[in-house]
Homo-oligomer: A and B are copies of this chain.
Amino acid sequence: MPTRREAIVKAAGDIFATKGFMGAKVREITDEAGILSGSLYHHFDSKEALALEVVQGYYESMLRSFRTVAGSSLDPGDMFVELIRVSCKGIAQSPGAVGLLLNSGHYLLALPRFAAVACMNDEIRRIWIGVLEAGRASGEWKADLDPDLVYRSVRDVLAGAVRWWSDEGRFSIDELAERYAEMLLYGIGTA
Protein backbone atom coordinates (compact mmCIF):
# COMPACT_ATOMS: atom_id res chain seq x y z
CA MET A 1 0.00 0.00 0.00
CA PRO A 2 1.75 3.11 -1.22
CA THR A 3 1.70 6.18 0.95
CA ARG A 4 0.02 9.29 -0.29
CA ARG A 5 3.42 10.85 -0.88
CA GLU A 6 4.49 7.94 -3.02
CA ALA A 7 1.28 8.12 -5.00
CA ILE A 8 2.01 11.75 -5.76
CA VAL A 9 5.56 11.01 -6.87
CA LYS A 10 4.29 8.23 -9.08
CA ALA A 11 1.66 10.42 -10.68
CA ALA A 12 4.16 13.22 -11.12
CA GLY A 13 6.62 10.92 -12.81
CA ASP A 14 4.01 9.75 -15.29
CA ILE A 15 2.80 13.23 -16.17
CA PHE A 16 6.24 14.80 -16.21
CA ALA A 17 7.56 12.08 -18.49
CA THR A 18 4.70 12.56 -20.91
CA LYS A 19 4.36 16.33 -20.99
CA GLY A 20 7.67 17.62 -19.74
CA PHE A 21 8.27 19.68 -16.65
CA MET A 22 6.72 22.85 -18.01
CA GLY A 23 3.95 21.18 -19.91
CA ALA A 24 2.78 19.27 -16.85
CA LYS A 25 0.26 21.22 -14.81
CA VAL A 26 0.14 20.60 -11.09
CA ARG A 27 -3.61 20.22 -11.38
CA GLU A 28 -3.08 17.27 -13.71
CA ILE A 29 -0.66 15.69 -11.31
CA THR A 30 -2.89 16.10 -8.31
CA ASP A 31 -5.91 14.88 -10.25
CA GLU A 32 -3.95 11.78 -11.21
CA ALA A 33 -2.86 11.34 -7.59
CA GLY A 34 -6.41 11.71 -6.35
CA ILE A 35 -5.89 14.81 -4.25
CA LEU A 36 -6.73 18.48 -4.58
CA SER A 37 -4.13 20.84 -5.90
CA GLY A 38 -3.49 22.54 -2.58
CA SER A 39 -2.76 19.27 -0.86
CA LEU A 40 0.34 18.80 -2.95
CA TYR A 41 2.04 21.47 -0.92
CA HIS A 42 1.73 19.50 2.28
CA HIS A 43 4.18 17.07 0.85
CA PHE A 44 6.34 19.19 -1.42
CA ASP A 45 7.55 22.74 -1.42
CA SER A 46 6.92 23.34 -5.06
CA LYS A 47 6.56 21.75 -8.46
CA GLU A 48 10.34 21.90 -8.71
CA ALA A 49 10.79 20.05 -5.44
CA LEU A 50 8.42 17.41 -6.72
CA ALA A 51 10.43 16.98 -9.89
CA LEU A 52 13.55 16.73 -7.75
CA GLU A 53 11.99 13.91 -5.75
CA VAL A 54 11.08 12.11 -8.94
CA VAL A 55 14.60 12.35 -10.25
CA GLN A 56 16.66 12.05 -7.10
CA GLY A 57 15.56 8.58 -6.10
CA TYR A 58 16.34 7.37 -9.57
CA TYR A 59 19.81 8.88 -9.57
CA GLU A 60 20.67 7.57 -6.13
CA SER A 61 19.66 4.08 -7.05
CA MET A 62 21.45 4.30 -10.37
CA LEU A 63 24.61 5.66 -8.81
CA ARG A 64 24.65 2.88 -6.22
CA SER A 65 24.47 0.30 -8.97
CA PHE A 66 27.08 2.06 -11.09
CA ARG A 67 29.50 2.25 -8.18
CA THR A 68 29.04 -1.42 -7.48
CA VAL A 69 29.76 -2.29 -11.08
CA ALA A 70 32.67 0.13 -11.32
CA GLY A 71 34.13 -1.33 -8.11
CA SER A 72 33.92 -4.90 -9.34
CA SER A 73 36.77 -6.76 -10.95
CA LEU A 74 35.05 -7.25 -14.28
CA ASP A 75 36.99 -6.53 -17.41
CA PRO A 76 35.88 -3.48 -19.45
CA GLY A 77 33.77 -5.48 -21.84
CA ASP A 78 31.73 -7.16 -19.13
CA MET A 79 31.55 -3.95 -17.19
CA PHE A 80 30.16 -2.16 -20.24
CA VAL A 81 27.48 -4.80 -20.61
CA GLU A 82 26.70 -4.62 -16.95
CA LEU A 83 26.30 -0.85 -17.04
CA ILE A 84 23.89 -1.21 -19.91
CA ARG A 85 21.94 -3.82 -18.01
CA VAL A 86 21.78 -1.62 -14.94
CA SER A 87 20.70 1.37 -17.00
CA CYS A 88 17.92 -0.61 -18.62
CA LYS A 89 16.75 -1.79 -15.22
CA GLY A 90 16.58 1.86 -14.21
CA ILE A 91 14.34 2.59 -17.16
CA ALA A 92 12.04 -0.26 -16.21
CA GLN A 93 11.92 0.82 -12.59
CA SER A 94 11.76 4.58 -12.97
CA PRO A 95 10.32 5.38 -16.36
CA GLY A 96 8.95 8.63 -15.03
CA ALA A 97 12.36 9.87 -13.96
CA VAL A 98 14.02 8.84 -17.20
CA GLY A 99 11.26 10.35 -19.31
CA LEU A 100 11.42 13.58 -17.37
CA LEU A 101 15.17 13.77 -17.74
CA LEU A 102 14.86 13.06 -21.42
CA ASN A 103 12.65 16.03 -22.18
CA SER A 104 13.52 18.46 -19.40
CA GLY A 105 16.89 17.35 -18.10
CA HIS A 106 18.64 20.26 -19.72
CA TYR A 107 16.41 22.69 -17.87
CA LEU A 108 16.21 20.89 -14.56
CA LEU A 109 19.87 20.04 -14.06
CA ALA A 110 20.72 23.72 -14.35
CA LEU A 111 18.54 24.61 -11.37
CA PRO A 112 20.33 25.29 -8.07
CA ARG A 113 18.01 22.84 -6.39
CA PHE A 114 19.30 20.08 -8.65
CA ALA A 115 22.98 20.66 -7.94
CA ALA A 116 23.38 17.37 -6.11
CA VAL A 117 21.62 15.55 -8.90
CA ALA A 118 23.85 17.21 -11.49
CA CYS A 119 26.75 15.95 -9.41
CA MET A 120 25.50 12.39 -9.48
CA ASN A 121 24.88 12.72 -13.18
CA ASP A 122 28.48 13.68 -13.61
CA GLU A 123 29.77 10.81 -11.55
CA ILE A 124 27.78 8.43 -13.68
CA ARG A 125 29.27 10.03 -16.75
CA ARG A 126 32.77 9.61 -15.34
CA ILE A 127 32.14 5.95 -14.69
CA TRP A 128 31.05 5.40 -18.29
CA ILE A 129 34.05 7.33 -19.55
CA GLY A 130 36.33 5.38 -17.24
CA VAL A 131 35.13 2.05 -18.53
CA LEU A 132 35.43 3.19 -22.13
CA GLU A 133 38.98 4.41 -21.60
CA ALA A 134 39.93 1.20 -19.85
CA GLY A 135 38.61 -0.87 -22.72
CA ARG A 136 40.48 1.25 -25.20
CA ALA A 137 43.68 1.05 -23.18
CA SER A 138 43.44 -2.70 -22.84
CA GLY A 139 43.17 -3.04 -26.60
CA GLU A 140 39.79 -4.66 -26.21
CA TRP A 141 38.30 -1.78 -28.13
CA LYS A 142 39.38 0.34 -31.00
CA ALA A 143 42.28 2.65 -30.40
CA ASP A 144 40.51 5.61 -31.92
CA LEU A 145 37.40 5.17 -29.83
CA ASP A 146 36.26 8.53 -28.53
CA PRO A 147 35.00 7.93 -24.99
CA ASP A 148 32.98 11.12 -24.84
CA LEU A 149 31.30 10.46 -28.15
CA VAL A 150 30.47 6.91 -27.23
CA TYR A 151 29.26 7.85 -23.78
CA ARG A 152 26.81 10.32 -25.25
CA SER A 153 25.64 7.80 -27.81
CA VAL A 154 25.08 5.07 -25.29
CA ARG A 155 23.29 7.38 -22.93
CA ASP A 156 20.98 8.68 -25.65
CA VAL A 157 20.20 5.26 -27.07
CA LEU A 158 19.37 3.81 -23.68
CA ALA A 159 17.32 6.74 -22.45
CA GLY A 160 15.34 6.80 -25.68
CA ALA A 161 14.00 3.36 -24.86
CA VAL A 162 11.79 4.83 -22.20
CA ARG A 163 9.59 6.31 -24.94
CA TRP A 164 8.46 2.95 -26.17
CA TRP A 165 9.62 0.04 -24.02
CA SER A 166 6.92 -1.63 -22.03
CA ASP A 167 6.77 -4.61 -19.80
CA GLU A 168 4.31 -6.20 -22.13
CA GLY A 169 6.16 -5.55 -25.34
CA ARG A 170 8.36 -7.81 -27.40
CA PHE A 171 11.39 -7.55 -25.16
CA SER A 172 11.90 -8.10 -21.50
CA ILE A 173 14.13 -5.44 -20.08
CA ASP A 174 17.02 -7.89 -19.90
CA GLU A 175 16.61 -8.88 -23.52
CA LEU A 176 16.61 -5.24 -24.42
CA ALA A 177 19.84 -4.71 -22.51
CA GLU A 178 21.42 -7.63 -24.28
CA ARG A 179 20.44 -6.36 -27.71
CA TYR A 180 21.72 -2.91 -26.95
CA ALA A 181 24.97 -4.31 -25.65
CA GLU A 182 25.44 -6.41 -28.76
CA MET A 183 24.62 -3.53 -31.05
CA LEU A 184 26.96 -1.14 -29.31
CA LEU A 185 29.81 -3.60 -28.96
CA TYR A 186 29.67 -5.26 -32.35
CA GLY A 187 27.42 -3.11 -34.49
CA ILE A 188 24.73 -4.30 -36.79
CA GLY A 189 27.01 -5.85 -39.36
CA THR A 190 27.75 -9.53 -39.70
CA ALA A 191 31.42 -8.98 -40.35
Of the listed residues A19, A132, A179, the one surrounded by the most CB atoms of chain B closer than 10 A to its CB is A179
A115-157 interface with B by 8 A CB criterion:
132, 135, 139-142, 145-146, 149-150, 152-153, 155-157
- Per DSSP, chain A at the interface is helix
A22-67 interface with B by 8 A CB criterion:
22-23
Copies of this protein in the complex: 4
Q: Does any Cβ of B come within 8 Å of A185's Cβ?
A: yes
CB distance from A104 to the nearest CB of B (A): 7
CB distance from A119 to the nearest CB of B (A): 19
A190 touches B141 (CB 8 A): yes
B23 touches A179 (CB 8 A): no
A152 touches B141 (CB 8 A): no
A153 touches B183 (CB 8 A): yes
B186 touches A187 (CB 8 A): yes
